[in-house]
Amino acid sequence: MRHIKLDKGANGVATITLDNADESMNVVSAEWLEEMNAAIADLREDAAVTGAIITSGKPAFMAGADLKLMVEGYGTLTPHEAYEFSQKATAMHRALETMGKPVVCAMNGLALGGGFELALACHHRVIVDDPRAVVGLPEVNLGLLPGSGGTQRLARMIGSKKALDLLLSGRSVGPAEALELGIVDQVVPAGQLLAKAHEWLASGPSAARAWDEKGFFMPEMRGMIVPEVSMGYSVGVAKVAGKSGYNYPAPGAIMSCVFEGLQLPFDKALSVESKYFAKLLTDPVARNIIRTTFISKQAAEKGARRPADVPKSQVAKVGVLGAGMMGAGIALVSAKAGVEVILIDRDTATAEKGKAYSEKVFGKQVAKGQMTQDKADATLALITPTDDFAKLEGCDLVVEAVFEDMNIKAETTKKAEAVLPSGAIFATNTSSLPITELARASARPEQFIGLHFFSPVDRMGLVEVIKGKQTSDETLAKSLDFIGQLRKTPIVVNDSRGFYTSRVFRMFIFEGAAMLEDGVEPARIENAAKAAGFPIGPLALLDEVTMELPVKIVEEAANDASTVNKYTIERGMPVFARMIELGRGSRKAGGGFYDYPAGGGKHLWEGLAKEFPPAAVQPDQEELKKRFLYSQANETAQTLEEGVLETAEDADLGAIYGWGFPVWTGGTLSYIDTVGIEEFVREADRLAQAYGPRFAPSAWLRERAARGEGFYPEPVKA
């Protein structure tokens, strides 16, 4: 056996040790199921075996199914085949809990997804007292639900209310909370794990589950007869819709699964669960979420875009030029990664303010018990605030994060390079200025690169890596190694004004302004954006980033002959101009599209109706949602066509983690594939006729549509 080891003790206790020979983690697979079924059948028939322990030979107990298989399930499995896929694991768990011999699960580490479903199928659960040994059912975050009994066992063990809290949040819990919830039975020191498992088996426990006993029922099993239970589900549906809209089918499926399942005998309930699981597995939303947020993300973090022929490197000392919000954040994450930081600004006092940001963040973490004071002090000691460029001597890499001005950046580059070692990398943190132009100030342009961090740096995981025309493969590789040290997710793009993320993000905010110009009611604009899945409406977002900034970027692009045709804003500028003229260019200015009363909160500015009178006939929400989604997806396709982007994976990662494109879509290019490229082109043509050429597909995109060629390969049926 390659996935488990079966040992039968002289005392009648058998031990199944999960130990996948092919992976670093135990995962659910067809081969593992076969081996488990064989082991269960063996134990059932062996009269000498009186009980069993399931544990792990790896640091973690067990994770869930291979996510690549989940993605492949969409497009290759029919709903019936997906149902059968779920039923295979369900049948194994059911065979385990009904074999007539008590089974205890001894969890030596984390147990998530299918791994925790296995634990739930055991008669008793013991877990080590280790905060890393978390348990949970995170499937909702993948667009799925637990597909091998998890929804039904959990609800019967702790009641639907507590179960739904875990199932709908997908959150993991540590041993103490798991014990309090009743989803584990004992929390023990690591050295006593197996001894306590043997001790429980020696107590002569029952091998039957409560739901298999005659007369078992729960209040929820009476359905509509119990008003408070019915009310709970009704309110729950509203909460789910309010939190995730109607773009994510998994939360609603989980609620229906639990509600229906608790009114049925257990085996019938398991069949209901498999049916809902099959429906989700064959839905594109699950495919989109898993492919981008797990598979593509992990691949990027493991070096998918890193030149393979460059030796691995590590940054021991980094210089950060500019101690404003961005520079302070870059200093913080660098120090947390154990890197020595020289934080430079125009004077030491300003640099010290930048370091104070880290002190404030660490102070909050210490107060919450997330960091020890000693660790905070040691990390802060790595940051040296100064105005002395000479201290950059010995730096492996510098990140320049000064004001977005070509001249200021050029001056800073020259001052730093005068001190830096000959092999040091110079990275500029800019959101829109062309890297090749900025590199003109460098004496070593092949070692010059763009590293576009996102604010706040300590909470945003993406870094957009921009290659200039002369950037070497070695510089790219070393930069990606540094991002890996910071535990962030890189995407790699080629040089262009606005690169990828800033260029496409502008379509969101300008489309919101264009709608206002068209006479769409402001509340309708904001609600449509949130209904599509964006975290915030474009008008509220503009108040935070200030309207002057996007206007400045567009005006700069208009003066650059090489980018004018690629960066033209078709609609919305008059709205920005008028708001700035009125002194309402941002929240900082005292108010923008929203008013911000002194007592807190905010509401749309009443003067908007006068400045931008609403049209007599208002568009429906679906049309507005399409305008947001299509404008950004079409612009992304253009960046791929132009060679700014090189892969669909980078496009989708940048969209989701860079500016909050809705996760259910999988990203801008996944959205086109989900709609279907032929349908996307047809609908984009209609939108172009109705609202303007910004929606018009290029000849390149039309040709792809004519060939039926999306951006990801179609799954192939085995």
Residues recognised as catalytic: 452
Tracing tokens 């990027």 back to the chain, one arrives at: 300
**Paired strand residues for 56:** 18
Q: Strand pairing of 383-386 and 317-321?
A: unpaired
Whether 591 contacts 584, CB under 8 Å: yes
Alpha-carbon distance of 594 to 616, in angstroms, equals 23
Give the helix ranges, DSSP H, for 60-111: 67-76, 79-97
Residue 357, judged by CB atoms within 10 A of its CB (0-12, 13-18, 19+), counts as buried
Rounded to an integer, what distance in angstroms lies between the CA atom of residue 481 and that of residue 315?
A: 8
Q: Is 676 helix (H, G, I), strand (E, B) or coil?
A: coil
Tell me if residue 598 falls in helix, strand or coil: coil
Contacts of 186 (CB under 8 A, 6+ apart): 124, 125, 126, 127, 179, 196, 200
DSSP letters, 441-466, are: G-S-GGGEEEEEE-SSTTT--EEEEE
- For residue 293, CA distances in Å to 27, 286, 483, 585 come to 19, 11, 18, 35
Distance from the Cα of residue 320 to its chain's centroid: 27
Task: Please state whether beta strands 186-188 and 340-344 pair in parallel, antiparallel, or not at all (unpaired).
Answer: unpaired
- For the chain, the C-alpha Rg in angstroms (whole number) is 28
Strand-pairing partners, residue 104, are: 53, 124
With a CB cutoff of 8 Å and minimum separation 6, the contacts of 566 are 496, 497, 503, 638, 642
Please tell me the distance from the alpha carbon of residue 71 to that of residue 282, in angstroms, as a whole number: 9
